[in-house]
Every structure is written in C-alpha cells, then in structure tokens.
Amino acid sequence: MSAPGAVVAAPEGLHDREFGPANAGKVGMWIYLVTDAMTFGGLLIAYASLRRMGNWPDPAEELGITISSVATFILICSSVSMVMAIRGAEMANRKALLGWLGATIAGGVIFLGIQYYEYNHLVHHGLGFTTMEHGNNLFGSTFYAITGFHGLHVLSGVIYLTVIWIKSLNGRYDGDASHVEIVGLFWHFVDLIWILVFTFIYLL
C-alpha cells in the first residue's frame, strides 16, 4: 500500500500474457494502422462499385501482370527480411540488424522503381489519370489513386526504415527492439495492403 501523498509512477507499457508488452509507440502505431486500413477499404470499395459500370476494361489486358507479380514477390520477401531485422535487434546483433534492414529498404526501393516503370509504360500506352483510349476513364483514375496512395506508403516506409537504419548504425537500438518492431508493424501492413490491392485490381 502506498503512503499518503506518494507519487505512483505510471507503467511504461501494457503487458498481456498472449501478446506480450505493448508500449505507447506500438499502441499508437496500431491505432494509426486501423484508421489507415479504413481508408484503403474505402478506396477498394469505391473501385469495386465503379467497375460495375459499363465499358470497364479487363485488367489482365491493360496492366502488366507479370512485372506486378515480380514487384509483389519482392515486397513479400521484404517482409521476411523485416522479421529477421527484428530478430537481430532482439539478439543485440547490430550486424544482422543493419544487414536485414538494408535488405528491406532495398526491397522497397526496387518496388518503387518497378511501379515507376509500370506507370511510365501505361501512360505511353494511353492510360492516363483521366483518359483512356479504350474503356472507361474511371479505370485509370481509380488505378492510379489506389496504387499511388499505396506507393506513398512504401516511400514513407523506406524513409522510416532508413532513419531506423542510421540510428542502428550508431548503436541506438542495441538490445532494444521496440522501435524496430514498430517500423516492422508499419512495413508488414504495407505489404498486406499491397496483396489486397494486387488481388482486387490486377487479378479480379
């Protein structure tokens, strides 16, 4: 029992037997991801509603499924490297942390490069944001809005990961994996959303 007038320190984080510790940073990231998921959900619902309109093109014919599949595979691999980076941080292995973080960053950069190439190719073949040579112009609008919004998330993730990499290089996270886990949550979310976007827009 605390003495009268004693100041009781607030706990640094919550702890659950099933899910482990959850500090303020993790809780904040989860709240952000839930709201962000709602935004993507709204965009995908709008896309599904609009494609019921007439003259909607076949995505398999208009988009580069092969190169997008490669980009998807690279992004999935970057999730694996992110897991290994977190493991390196937990084991206080700075070399492993830096190496796997670097691999994750490279995966994100390659994905963005492929997306730029795809956009450039599609524009030259008549698929603009508001124009389309054969089909409903809304296809281009929704395609670029959804994939571009996701691309901004990948870019943000790459910048976020780079900041963590630089701080890791200076020994900031030796034995402390909490910040690496938080950026890992964001990166896994970005990868998961892309799988949904790829399925809805490229495959269905």
pLDDT, one tens digit per residue, over 117-139 is 999 988 888 788 877 666 667 88
Q: For 94-117, what is each residue's pLDDT tens digit?
A: 999 999 999 999 999 999 999 999
Complete domains list, the chain, with CATH: 23-203 (1.20.120.80)
Asked whether the beta carbons of 146 and 59 are under 8 A apart, the reply is: no
Instruction: Write out the two tokens for 83.
Output: 């897991």
Q: Average pLDDT, stretch 137-166?
A: 93
d(CA 2, CA 21): 25
d(CA 48, CA 184): 30
Query: Which of the two residues, 57 and 112, has the higher pLDDT score?
Result: 112
Model pTM? 0.84
What single letter denotes the amino acid at residue 75?
L
Which range, of 18-27, 31-40, 62-71, 137-146, averages the lowest pLDDT? 18-27
What is the reported pLDDT for 2?
A: 44
3-state percent breakdown (helix, strand, coil) of the chain, nearest 5 = 70, 5, 25
Asked whether the beta carbons of 109 and 158 are under 8 A apart, the reply is: yes
